[in-house]
Amino acid sequence: MDAAVLAAVDVRKRFGALAVLDGVSLSLREGEAVGIVGPNGAGKTTLLNVLSGALAPDSGGVDFRGRDVTSRGAADRCKLGIARTHQVPRPFIGMSVFENVLVGATAGGRRRGAEAYDLCLRVLDQTGLTPIANRRAESLGLLPRKRLELARALAVEPAVLLLDEIGGGLTDAETAALAQTVASLRDSGIAVLWIEHIVHLLMQVVSRLVCMDQGRIIAEGVPEAVVAQAAVIDAYLGARA
Amino acid sequence: MRVQRWTGTSRAFTGATIAIAALLGTVPLLFEADVVQRLTNLLILVLLAAMWNALAGYGGLLSVGQQAFIGIGAYGTVFFAGLGVSPYPAMLLATLVAGVISVPISLFALRLRAAQFAIGMWVIAEVISILVRLDQNLGAGTGISLIQLNQYAPNFRQAYTFWLALGFTVIFLSALFFLLRSPLGVSLQAIRDDEDAARSLGVHVAARKRLLFVLAGFGCGAAGVLIGANTLFIEPGSIFSVQWSAYMIFMVLVGGLGTFEGPILGAILLFGIQTTFTQGGPWYLVGLGATAALFALALPRGIWGTIEERLGLRLLPVGYRVVEMKSEERTV
């Protein structure tokens, strides 16, 4: 088995009396795509915040390529190669789409000049944003904002990509295209951790599925097997019905 | 597709700006001392507006305490001149001191966020003001004259001060221009729009904010030096007055927060208002405040920001545009 590129080790996080993460351990290997499902409030996004450095865990830690990065901030982790998207898109509204992406390429990716521009143009192409490259991000609707989240993260040229619900609200054709995009990122060697409610979308891309509920991992393994487990059906699908 | 930064228009306009700056150099040779003094005031306003815009428009740092550095610059000049340094070198030293002091102040102030930062800066300005009031050698509460400048004939003194103001304005606005055009430029704007998202893309927020804060410390210090030299008399009540912050906010909000050109426009506008309503007084300040508030509500991007949006105009370009390749480039 390949070494883990990113790992959460017994991560715990409380908000007041509520244990949002209650001892979560999870590892991600090079070129592997892992999906996370679970009902709202299961702790998925909090886990992603801890992995990306936006939130410090109460206990436990995060390893990147075998190094403990728990004490490193979000900017440092991004520069190391951990990029993320936000569930509720957070575009830089006063800047153009291209300039938004350029932040990822220059700050996180440390690219300069023509190298950075070419990278950004490539990423815009890949995410279908080229036609609106000069639009102020403020004027974008939800879907382009989500694509911009992905584009900015890709401009970092990350080793690990943490995706937080980028698939909501898409048509069938768009969903298929998104699955293809993420699959090609995975094939290019990027490790992908993907939180998504649309299970059939995840199943097209991930080789491992993790189901969380109430701050714990309640099932983990081959996607088909995880989806079939009674606990998962109760916690996740049951919660939706 | 390719990335474009300069256009024909922006090249021409930037060239024109440089030419205007060069032409301004001849002002003291052509005009009377009182005109030169008023134009010095204009340059001071441009400098202050650009520095407040650097803080707020690019770093998201809303300071109402930049008068701290204005005061340090002005009183620093008096202090060094009192030690026997000749007046103009004393002004350079005082500017340097204001900039250097901004580093330790930043260690405290930048821990604060949003409104806390704004009020925190005001408190810092008041504390420095009180320290000055306690010092008899600096004239305590009653103020002090920059008598060392009397060694120059008024015409020459006014000319030197104007050239110094022009030099400072050119240096600080160029520094800001090149900073915004550098790869750090987009990171700074990202901090303004969403600090946490910027961090998640690898922007070292604290270090970048410090850079802007220190630049503004130097710039406002330089403005304070010039205010002292232009009025020849300073007293803590006015040089440390929060009124300076009100002026800066007015110029930037009306001109266009987060645009490079807007604050220059705002400064020219305020200069025009100040020249027209020379009486001053409380209603004048109420009018300025109301106008700034009105702009914030009705035209949040200011005059220049709105023009830029409507016409897609960029005269002093710090941004990026993606354009089609020219046909000859496409075949390469």
CA nearest neighbour of A148 among A175, A135, A241, A73: A135
Whether residues A22 and A5 share a domain: the answer is yes
The predicted model gives B260-282 an average pLDDT of: 86
The pLDDT value given to residue A237: 59
pLDDT band, very low/low/confident/very high, at B331 (cuts 50, 70, 90): very low
CA distance A53 to chain B (A): 8
Q: Give percent of chain B with pLDDT exceeding 90.
A: 60
The pLDDT value given to residue A238: 58
The predicted model gives A117-146 an average pLDDT of: 93
The one-letter amino acid code at A116 reads A
Chain B residues whose CB is inside 8 A of the A54 CB are 196, 199-200
Question: Could you tell me which chain B residue has the CA closest to the CA of A75?
Answer: B202
Interface residues on A facing B, Cβ-Cβ cutoff 8 A? 52-54, 73-75, 78-79, 83-84, 86, 90-96, 98-100, 102-104, 106-110, 112-113, 116-117, 120-121, 124, 130, 133-134, 136, 152-153, 156
The pLDDT value given to residue A241: 42
Which residues form the domain of A111? 89-157
Give the span between the Cα atoms of A73 and A83, in whole angstroms: 13
| CATH code of residue A10 | 3.40.50.300
Whether residues A64 and A94 share a domain: the answer is no
Q: What is the mean pLDDT of chain B?
A: 90
* The pLDDT of residue A127 is above 80: yes
Tell which of A105, A126, A157 closes a domain: A157
Tell which of A133, A157, A181 closes a domain: A157
* The pLDDT of residue B214 is above 90: yes
Kindly give, in sequence order, each residue whose CB lies less than 8 Å from that of residue B187, ignoring residues fewer than 6 positions away.
Answer: A103, A106, A107, B198, B203, B208
Tell which of A157, A178, A207 closes a domain: A157
The predicted model gives A190-208 an average pLDDT of: 92
The pLDDT value given to residue B152: 84
Whether residues A56 and A150 share a domain: the answer is no
> Tell me: the pLDDT tens digits for A58-82?
999 999 999 999 999 999 999 999 9
pLDDT band, very low/low/confident/very high, at A176 (cuts 50, 70, 90): confident
Flag if B193 and A91 touch (Cβ within 8 Å): yes
Flag if B183 and A92 touch (Cβ within 8 Å): no
Whether residues A47 and A22 share a domain: the answer is yes
* The pLDDT of residue A179 is above 70: yes
Closest by Cβ to A103, choosing from B203, B319, B322: B203
At residue B116, what are phi and psi to the nearest 5 degrees? -60, -40
Q: Is the ipTM of this complex over 0.90?
A: yes
Least confident of A99-113, B200-214, B278-292: B278-292
The pLDDT value given to residue B312: 73
Whether residues A23 and A124 share a domain: the answer is no
Q: What is the mean pLDDT of chain A?
A: 91
* The pLDDT of residue B326 is above 70: no
Least confident of A199-203, B41-45, B220-224, B308-312: B308-312
Whether residues A67 and A8 share a domain: the answer is yes
Domain B2-331, CATH number (from 1.10.10, 3.40.50, 1.10.3470, 2.60.40):
1.10.3470
Whether residues A148 and A98 share a domain: the answer is yes
Whether residues A137 and A114 share a domain: the answer is yes
Cβ A74 vs Cβ A54: under 8 Å:
yes
pLDDT band, very low/low/confident/very high, at B288 (cuts 50, 70, 90): confident
Question: Could you tell me which chain A residue has the CA closest to the CA of B259?
Answer: A94
Flag if B190 and A107 touch (Cβ within 8 Å): yes
Kindly give, in sequence order, each residue whose CB lies less than 8 Å from that of residue B98, ignoring residues fewer than 6 positions away.
Answer: B69, B72, B73, B76, B217, B218, B220, B221, B222, B224, B225
* The pLDDT of residue B279 is above 80: no
Number of domain units in chain A: 2
